[in-house]
Amino acid sequence: MRYPLIFTRTIIVAFLSLVPCAHAFEPLPDKAPAPADNPQSEAKIALGKQLFFDPRLSLNGSLSCNSCHNVMTGGTDDRPVSIGEAGQKGGRNAPTVWNSAFHSVQFWDGRAATLKDQAKGPILNPVEMAMPSAEFTVARIKSIPGYVEQFKSVFGGNDPLTYDNIAKAIASYERTLITPNSAFDRYLKGEKNILSEQAKRGMKLVTDIGCTSCHTGINFNGPTSLPLGQGFYQKFPMFTNNPYIKNYKLDQDMGRFHVTGDAKDKHMWRVPTWRNIALTAPYFHNGSVPTLEEAVRVMASTQLNKKLNDSQVEDIVAFLNSLTGEFPEQTLPRLPVTTGNSPLSGN
* Binding site feature residues for heme c: 65, 68-69, 211, 214-215, 299
Annotated binding site: 65, 68-69, 211, 214-215, 299
Catalytic option among 42, 85, 128, 293: 128
Give the separation between CA 155 and CA 296, rounded to whole angstroms. Answer: 46
294 among known catalytic residues: no
Give the separation between CA 101 and CA 345, rounded to whole angstroms. Answer: 35
The gap from C-alpha 185 to its chain's centroid, in whole angstroms, comes to: 19
Give the separation between CA 185 and CA 191, rounded to whole angstroms. Answer: 9
CB of 55 closer than 8 Å to CB of 63: yes
185-192 CB contacts, 8 Å cutoff, 24+ apart: 185/27, 185/28, 185/325, 187/22, 187/322, 188/22, 188/25, 188/26, 188/27, 189/27
* Residues composing the chain: 347
CA angle 144/148/149 to nearest 5° reads 120
The verdict on whether omega for the bond into residue 282 sits within 30 degrees of 0, i.e. cis, is yes
Helix (H) or strand (E) holding 268: strand 268-270
Known catalytic residues are: 128
